[in-house]
Chain A
Amino acid sequence: QLHLQESGPRLVKPSETLSLICTVSGVSISDSTYYWSWIRRAPGKGLEWIGSMFYSGTTYYSSSLRSRVTISLDTSKNQFSLSLTSATPADTAVYYCARETRAYFYDNNDHKVGYNRFDPWGQGALVTVSS
């Protein structure tokens, strides 16, 4: 059964780098069908997509975080990681890793239709940015 688990420091000082690892079991992250993604939820706020990585190394990041974010894969350990530099208290959130399906098709009117879904998710890791 597919399972994802986040791990890493739960307390980060301002200006330092927030780093998390997602360990995947039940499927190889080298599977060409899926993307591997990070999403966060700040206290009292909604979900925010951070970025996604394909097994080939192609990455896509949220425009608001692109300058500070790196997602990478370690296929030997079946893990993928998140690095967020120059952390501030605004980065305090529960961070989730998830498997993502994303693709597009052409409908009967020859319109390009894109879609994605995150399933399953890890249990989440609360990371606090504070001195």
Chain B
Amino acid sequence: QSALTQPASVSGSPAQSITISCTGTSDDVGTDNLVSWYQQYPGTAPKLIIYDTNKRPSGISDRFSGSKSGNTASLTISGLRAEDEADYFCCSYVDMTTVLFGGGTKLTVL
């Protein structure tokens, strides 16, 4: 199976909201299985920011939210801040032998 499709880049101004899409197929994102999202700053490890499609780990700002509809999952960041500038990856659990990541989206805060 192929990697999930994310826009290579998105941008927004401070205080705005942006949404990053993650498109798969009816065999992965489009199933009942849940999706997770990761934030990665250059030179650092990825960090879990959304799990089970729409849940936030402890310590993650409620400005981050996740959803899924059909074959597309989405990450929305509201009240954009300069510190949100990073790479974002979606991840779809398919089955015990298949875990798919998106190609990643670079978020630029203008």
Q: List residues of chain A with CB under 8 Å of any chain B CB.
A: 39, 45-49, 52, 60-63, 96, 102, 107, 111-124
Q: Judge whether B101 and A121 touch: CB under 8 Å.
A: no
Q: B104 to A46, Cβ gap below 8 A?
A: yes
B93 neighbours in A (Cβ, 8 Å): 102, 114-116
Contact of B32 among A47, A107, A120 (CB under 8 A): A107
14 A-B residue pairs with Cβ-Cβ distance under 8 Å, sorted by A, are: A39-B101, A47-B89, A61-B97, A96-B45, A102-B93, A111-B32, A113-B32, A113-B33, A115-B93, A116-B91, A117-B91, A118-B38, A119-B47, A120-B45
Interface residues on B, range: 20 to 34
Collect the chain A residues with CB atoms within 8 Å of residue B12's CB.
Answer: none
Give the complex CA separation of A47 and B100 in angstroms: 9
**What is the predominant secondary structure among interface residues of chain A facing chain B?**
strand
The docked-state distance in angstroms from the alpha carbon of A47 to that of B22 is 14
Give the residues in chain A near B51, CB-CB below 8 Å: 115, 117, 119
Residues from chain B with a CB closer than 8 A to the CB of A118 are 36, 38, 46, 48, 91
For A116, give its contact among B47, B57, B99, B102 (CB under 8 Å): B99
B36 near A117: Cβ-Cβ < 8 Å: yes
Instruction: Given contact pairs A47-B104, A117-B48, enumerate 19 new A-B contacts (beta carbons under 8 Å).
Output: A45-B103, A46-B6, A46-B104, A48-B3, A48-B101, A49-B101, A111-B32, A113-B34, A114-B33, A114-B95, A115-B93, A116-B36, A116-B91, A116-B93, A117-B36, A121-B45, A123-B45, A124-B44, A124-B45
